[in-house]
């Protein structure tokens, strides 16, 4: 299959799980028995797991408080500290010398950071932040490359009860500005620059631009030296991270916070308006990060080397590069640069060099690696792999099969994990040594998770029928709200089924064996290379360009990216040379390069219904080059369609 991707493939085989008695959950009977415990005693079972897996400073007496639903509270009167759970606990258990983080820079340098060293650095950072006036409840924005200091900054926030909000380093300064303002952040932690594709790409100038107007709440910017590039310096505001840490002691008493204390805010795209700040709470999130690490990745901290390729700017990086592996006391790998630099074998070279045993990436990356050819992975010994995971978008069966056969040598279970920024951790996923897998299916809800596929009225649909994916009972790592917008939280997730179910925004069906198949978003959220983008955000970015009168954005299927961004634009003026490039760059400047349109089409008008609504389904069909099946009598102008199809 090397070098090509077949566009259709029906894989009907079922892959039985490898036998491994040492696995935490090693049979379907064990899974069912555990799920039955939740059915019989929901809060008792959660309470037991929370007591067992988390070090509490103050034990909780109630597990779940539903009195203010949909604002659910978990372990509310308990107190804990996340950095203590992720660091001190392991050092106290004699694991101080174990490697917590293996880091590889793009130019090739390697750092092994032990638990003891990480604890010391996190304490210094926490002390430095405190000295700069950061305390419990303050928001700290982290705008960083993939360097260990990013994880240190996150953990340092948790040590003193500050709430972090990581902003993906490739987001524009405008996007950064909006997030700082929305969160009311007091500090930004960034780096001068970092290595990408063989050169230093800068970050600090983006922060300076973001802070050039507004952002009045920001008092300090801490700057990690990584790129070695010269940066502008605002005296009194900007603080050198390395110098500040060196001046602090490596001990800092962890602050116990309430289980419901906001651990972090992470901005993600919705179907309407600007990005929303998803709020996660301390106790429930940490519990689920640890449990899913153990269940879905069967993580063995004494021997595994775990690599999740996601950037810490996304939820996957939060839960599975940082909190999950560290809460378990295991080794996590971080890589700074572009996975295909200097060649498409880089990923496999890193896996071989560091003995990665559990590998977790997105289907988009897999498809790109398939295209690069089988010769690249063939160059490296990948026999240490035990488990392979995917996340972020539906995986097509041919990519699944390649991952399983070529990368996993047919030995390693593939875990296709369905979840969201909002869910904090995995929700529907196989247990590698218990669940028989079917390529393209995320299989079953995890123990403790209750999901369903329902129709518009909330009635479960028959097996084989498409419907909406819902979660029918609360779970500990569920989002606690949208930062500063209670109404939007209720409206987005709970209104559709009147508070009974959490509405995920995905379509799905179950097959005759009860396996879940996720079909993709049912709202105006795009999934481009596994990155979530709102059509509205891109539309408003385009509308802010002087040449644009109106714009509509839809997704179209793409072989590599899953979905590509297709834009229909009505201009205020005639089309000029270079306008397409200018518009693409404008969107990159407004949001970030990941939001650059793939396809821009100009027309005199956009197709609208008589009531003036843009006909998005029609645009999606046009973008995909599908036959138009809609009734077009309601259209103002049939010629518009031809223009948009490129025939006009
Ligand atoms: C999609 C990423 C199919 C889905 C963790 C969801 C998936 C959105 C899968 C959340 C999967 C994630 N199969 N679709 N295994 N995993 N998705 O918030 O549409 O960046 O709603 O979280 O990604 O994206 P988010």
DSSP character string of 185-247: -SEEEEESEEEETTEEEE-HHHHHHHTSSS-TT--EEEEE--S-------TTTEEEHHHHHHT
pLDDT tens by residue, 118-166: 999 999 999 999 999 999 999 999 999 999 999 999 999 999 999 999 9
Beta bridge partners of 305: 331
Written as six digits, the tokens of 404 are: 């399983």
Measure Cα distances from 161 to 130, 135, 261 in Å.
10, 7, 8
Question: What's the pLDDT score for residue 637?
Answer: 63
Most informative mutation of 414, 504, 506, 519 for ligand 1 (most atoms within 8 A of CB): 506
Q: 521 C-alpha vs ligand 1 centroid, how far in Å?
A: 9
Mean pLDDT, range 606-624, rounded to an integer? 87
Pocket of ligand 1 (CB under 6 A): 268, 314-316, 391-394, 416-421, 442, 504-506, 518, 520-521, 527, 532
How sure is the predictor about 1, in pLDDT bands with cuts at 50, 70 and 90?
Answer: very low
- pLDDT of amino acid 272: 78
pLDDT value at 639 more than 80: no
Residue 162 CB neighbour total at 10 angstroms? 27
Residue 120: Cβ-neighbour burial (10 angstroms; 0-12, 13-18, 19+): buried
Residue whose pair of structure tokens reads 């990581």 in the numeric block: 166
Structure tokens at 630: 């809609």
What is the value of pTM for the model shown? Answer: 0.94
Q: Which one, of 433, 568, 454, lies nearest residue 506 by Cα? A: 454
Please check the confidence at residue 552 and state whether its pLDDT lies above 50.
Answer: yes
Rounded to the nearest whole angstrom, what is the distance from the C-alpha of residue 518 to the centroid of ligand 1?
A: 9
Residue 577 neighbours by CB distance under 10 Å = 7
Map residue 644 onto helix, strand or coil.
helix
Mutate to test the pocket of ligand 1, among 280, 420, 505 (most ligand atoms within 8 A of CB): 420
Q: Which of 310, 527, 555, 595 to mutate to test the pocket of ligand 1 (most atoms within 8 A of CB)?
A: 527
The secondary structure of residue 5, as a DSSP letter, is -
Residue 571 and residue 601 in contact, taking contact as beta carbons nearer than 8 Å: no
Nearest Cα to 388, choosing from 419, 357, 418, 350? 357
CA distance 106 to 127: 30
Report the separation in Å between the CA atom of 433 and the middle of ligand 1, taken as the mean of its atom positions: 23
Q: Measuring CA to CA, which residue among 257, 255, 202 is closest to residue 226?
A: 202
State in Å: Cα 48 to ligand 1 middle. Answer: 29
Q: Ligand 1 centre from 233 Cα, in Å?
A: 39
Dihedrals phi, psi of 331, to nearest 5 degrees: -105, 125
Three-state secondary-structure class, residue 365: helix
Q: Which atom of ligand 1 is nearest to the CA of 532?
A: 20
What pLDDT, on the 0 to 100 scale, is given for residue 580? Answer: 96
Q: Are 595 and 589 in contact (CB under 8 A)?
A: no
- How many whole angstroms separate alpha carbon 392 and alpha carbon 363? 7
């Amino acid at each position: 299959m090397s070098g090509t991707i077949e566009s259709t493939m029906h894989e009907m085989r079922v892959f039985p799980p490898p036998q491994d008695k040492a696995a935490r959950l090693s049979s379907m009977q064990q899974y069912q028995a555990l799920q039955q415990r939740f059915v019989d005693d929901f809060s008792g079972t959660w309470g037991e797991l929370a007591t067992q897996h988390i070090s509490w400073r103050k034990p909780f007496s109630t597990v779940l408080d539903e009195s203010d639903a949909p604002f659910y509270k978990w372990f509310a009167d308990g107190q804990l500290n996340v950095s203590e759970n992720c660091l001190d606990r392991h050092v106290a258990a004699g694991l101080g010398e174990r490697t917590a983080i293996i880091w590889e820079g793009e130019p090739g340098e390697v750092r092994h950071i032990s638990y003891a060293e990480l604890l010391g650095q996190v304490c210094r950072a926490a002390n430095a932040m405190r000295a700069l006036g950061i305390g419990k409840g303050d928001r700290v924005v982290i705008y960083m490359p993939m360097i260990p200091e990013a994880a240190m900054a996150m953990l340092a926030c948790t040590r003193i009860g500050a709430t972090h909000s990581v902003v993906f380093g490739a987001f524009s300064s405008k996007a950064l500005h909006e997030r700082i303002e929305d969160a009311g952040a007091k500090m930004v932690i960034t780096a001068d620059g970092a290595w990408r594709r063989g050169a230093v790409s800068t970050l600090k100038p983006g922060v300076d631009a973001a802070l050039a107007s507004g952002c009045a709440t920001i008092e300090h910017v801490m700057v990690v030296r990584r790129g070695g590039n010269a940066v502008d310096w605002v005296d009194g505001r900007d603080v050198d991270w390395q110098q500040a840490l060196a001046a602090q002691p490596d001990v800092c008493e962890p602050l116990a916070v309430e289980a419901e204390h906001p651990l972090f805010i992470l901005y993600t795209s919705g179907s309407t308006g600007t990005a929303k700040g998803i709020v996660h709470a301390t106790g429930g999130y940490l519990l689920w990060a640890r449990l899913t690490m153990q269940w879905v990745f069967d993580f063995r901290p004494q021997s595994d080397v775990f690599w999740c390729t996601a950037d810490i700017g996304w939820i996957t990086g939060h839960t599975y590069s940082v909190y999950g592996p560290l809460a378990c006391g295991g080794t996590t790998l971080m890589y700074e640069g572009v996975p295909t630099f200097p060649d498409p074998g880089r990923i496999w070279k890193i896996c071989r060099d560091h003995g990665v045993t559990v590998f977790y990436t997105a289907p988009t990356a897999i498809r790109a690696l398939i295209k690069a050819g089988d010769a690249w992975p063939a160059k490296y010994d990948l026999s240490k792999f035990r488990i392979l995971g995917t996340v972020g978008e539906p995986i097509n069966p041919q990519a699944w099969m390649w991952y399983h056969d070529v990368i996993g040598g047919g030995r390693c279970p593939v875990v296709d994990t369905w979840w969201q920024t909002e869910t904090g951790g995995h929700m529907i996923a196989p247990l590698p040594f218990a669940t028989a897998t079917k390529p393209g299916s995320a299989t079953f809800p995890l123990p403790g998770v209750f999901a369903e596929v329902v129709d518009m009225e909330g009635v479960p649909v028959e097996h084989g029928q498409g419907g909406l994916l819902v979660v029918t009972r609360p779970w500990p790592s569920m989002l606690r709200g949208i930062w500063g917008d209670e109404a939007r939280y209720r409206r987005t997730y709970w209104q559709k089924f009147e508070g009974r179910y959490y509405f995920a925004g995905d379509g799905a069906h179950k097959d005759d064996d009860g396996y879940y198949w996720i079909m993709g978003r049912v709202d105006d959220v795009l999934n481009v290379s596994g990155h979530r983008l709102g059509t509205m955000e891109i539309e408003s970015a385009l509308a802010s360009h002087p040449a644009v009168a109106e714009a509509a954005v839809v997704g179209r299927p793409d072989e590599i990216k899953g979905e590509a961004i297709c834009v229909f634009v009505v201009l205020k003026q005639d089309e000029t040379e270079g306008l397409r490039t200018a518009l693409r760059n404008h969107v990159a400047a407004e949001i970030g390069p990941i939001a650059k349109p793939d396809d821009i089409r100009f027309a005199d008008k956009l197709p609208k219904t008589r009531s003036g609504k843009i006909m998005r389904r029609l645009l999606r069909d046009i973008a995909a080059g599908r036959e138009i099946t809609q009734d077009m009598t309601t259209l103002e102008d049939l010629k518009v369609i031809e223009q948009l199809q490129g025939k006009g």
